[in-house]
Chain A
C-alpha cells in the first residue's frame, strides 16, 4: 500500500500517499501494521508444525537427539546467533533513523543487516557442506557412521527441514530489505512515512526470533 513512485528529489522526503479507501494516514498505517502482525502470526504457526515434530521425536528418541545435538558445530551456531541478533539490532536502528528522516543512515543500517544476513548464510553453508560430507543427510540418504542410533536420521531430517525453512526466510527477508534499501536510497522515508521500513524490519526480527528458539533446541540441549 505504501509504494511511492515519485521520489527523485533529494530534498525533503515526500509525504506518503493516502489510498482512496482509508479515512486517514493514521488508519492506513495502523492497517498495514496490523496486517503485518497477522502475517507474522501465520509465520509463527508455520514453524509451530516443525517445533511439534521436533518435540515429538525428541521425546521418542532422546539418545539420538542428544547425540545428534552434540554432533552439530556449536561454535558456528553461536557465531550465527550473534550475527543474526546483531543484524536484528541494525534493522531496529534503521526504523529509528527512518523516523528521523535520516535516509542515509537507514541505507547504512540495512546494508549492514544484509551483510550480516549474507554472513549467516555463508556460515550455514559451511555447516551444510560439512553435513553433506559426512553423510548426515535427511531420511533415506543418511549414512553418518558416527551416530547410528534409531531416530538419528529423524534428527537430521528435522535439522535440515527447520534450518532450511529458516534459511529460506532469511533469503526472502534479504530480498525485502534490499528492496526497502533502494527506496531509502531515494530518500523516501520520514516520520510520516516509515511503514515500509518498520514492516520489513518486523519481518527480519521474526526471522531472528525463530532462530533464537531453533538455536538452543538444535545445538544446545
Chain B
C-alpha cells in the first residue's frame, strides 16, 4: 500500500509521457538556443546594474527547462522533485550565508587588495570587529 503505489504512480506518469513524442524535445532545444543567443547579446552590452541578474535569470530558466523536460522532472513526481529542489535550496543556503559574511564583515578584515562594492544593507562598522567598539587608530588601517 505504501511503496507499491509510489512506484506504480511514477511508472504510470512516465508511460503517459511516452506519447508526447520528440516534438517537445525539439521545442525545448530551440528555446535553449534562443535563450543562449539572448544572453550572449545582452551580455555583450555590459549592462551595469542588472546585467548579472538578467544573465542568472536566463540561466535559471534554461536550467529549469533542461531539468523539467530533458531530465523528465516534469514527469517524475514526488521524491525525485523533492531531491532536486532540496539540493538547489542548499546551494542557495551555502552561498547566502557565506556572502552575507563577506558583505557585512568589518572591511579591514577582508583580504588585502579587495575592493568590494558597498553593501546595500546598512550596518554598524565603526569599531573593531565590525561592532561599535573603537579600534586603536593606527593599527587597524592598512
Contact = CB atoms under 8 A, between A and B. Distances in A.
* Physical contact A–B (CB less than 8 Å): yes
Interface of A: 23-24, 26-27, 29-30, 33-34, 37-38, 40-42, 44-45, 48-49, 51-52, 55-56, 59-63, 74, 78, 81-82, 85-86, 88-89, 91-93, 95-96, 99, 150-151, 191, 198, 201-202, 205-206, 208-209, 212-213, 215-217, 219-221
Interface in B82-111: 83-84, 86-88, 90-91, 94-95, 98-99, 102-103, 110-111
A93 B25 contact: yes
B83 A38 contact: yes
Contacts of A217: 55-56, 59
Interface string B1-38: 00110111011000000100110011011001100100
A220 B39 contact: yes
Which applies to chain A's interface (DSSP): helix, strand, loop or mixed? helix
Nearest to B79: A34
A85 B29 contact: yes
Contacts of A95: 72
Interface of B: 3-4, 6-8, 10-11, 18, 21-22, 25-26, 28-29, 32-33, 36, 39-40, 43-44, 51-52, 55-56, 58-59, 62-63, 66-67, 69-72, 76, 79-80, 83-84, 86-88, 90-91, 94-95, 98-99, 102-103, 110-117
21 contacts: A26-B11, A29-B11, A30-B7, A41-B86, A48-B91, A56-B102, A60-B116, A61-B113, A85-B33, A86-B33, A95-B72, A96-B21, A202-B71, A208-B70, A213-B56, A213-B59, A216-B58, A217-B59, A220-B51, A221-B43, A221-B51
